[in-house]
Amino acid sequence: MSMLKPLVTLALLSTLAGCASTQGPMDYSAFKKSNPKSILVLPPTNHTTEVIAPYGVLANVTVPLAEAGYYVFPVALVDETFKNNGLTVAEDIHAVSPKKLNDIFGADAVLYLEIEEYGTSYAVLSSDTVVVVKARLTDSRTNEILWQGKASAASSEQNNGNGGGIVGMLVEAAVTQIMETALDTGFEIAAIASNRLLSPEAHNGLLYGPRSPKYGKDKPVK
């Protein structure tokens, strides 16, 4: 089955407003002072029961970071490096000092990810696949927080309502749960959430990196 149509749909959905963090204006002064050019993405910590959640999120963060203008260390290579050094648990990896990470990888900044929700839930009259991700970007040399944010996405954003009454809603909810679980819709929803979280076009998103033609032309210092 062609993935073109779902991907187009996801791209359109990622522009919807009101689904990212609604916090006040971000202070970008530390970000501008640090001026990172490369980002090391650590394996996400997973606060859900879905064992595939870290893979779904990690696979979707590289694109928005690269499109923002940063060099992103290949996540598969980074993961293999940690495994070769006996680190297989995300919490243990997050505990490694930023200076040590800088010594090993030479990245300017480190991105820490936390997965708060991931997967499909059934709630009698509706089923929904939700992904909620938090992130924190720190300077690998000083450990200063440069940026942090949170974003979510849900498959219910695509629903147009059901005109079949209660019975129709019950059937639709059951079918939706089965289909979205079987097809791992969480992976596609994670792509939307990651874009909302990290895109410089998003509210309080990252600043553009040096590889972007928009570098230095975005959000002012608070």
Q: What is the pLDDT along the chain (222 residues), one digit of tens a residue?
A: 444 344 334 443 444 434 444 467 889 999 999 999 999 999 999 999 999 999 999 999 999 999 999 999 999 999 999 999 999 999 999 999 999 999 999 999 999 999 999 986 654 435 678 899 999 999 999 999 999 999 999 877 765 544 444 433 433 444 444 444 434 677 888 999 999 999 999 889 999 999 999 998 765 555
Tell me, what's the pLDDT at 155?
Answer: 77
Among candidate residues 88, 109, 118, 95, the one with its CA nearest the CA of residue 194? 118
- pLDDT attached to residue 77: 93
Residue 19 domain-assigned (yes or no): no
Q: State how far the Cα of 123 lies from the Cα of 175, in Å rounded to an integer.
A: 12
Position 217 in a domain: no
pTM, whole model, 2 decimals?
0.78
Residue 111 maps to a domain? yes
Angle at 128 between CA 126 and CA 129, to 5 degrees: 165
Q: Please indicate, yes or no, if residue 212 is contained in any of the structural domains.
A: no
Number of domain units in the chain: 1
Please indicate, yes or no, if residue 76 is contained in any of the structural domains: yes
Residue 17 falls within a domain, yes or no?
Answer: no
Contact 147, 200 (CB under 8 A): no
Structural domain containing residue 149: 24-118+130-154+185-198
**Is residue 1 in some structural domain?**
no
Q: Identify the CATH number of the domain in which residue 111 sits.
A: 3.40.50.10610
What is the DSSP-derived secondary structure letter of residue 127? E
Is 176 in contact with 121 (CB distance < 8 Å)? no
d(CA 210, CA 222): 20
Does a structural domain hold residue 177? no
**Whole-number pLDDT of residue 141:** 94
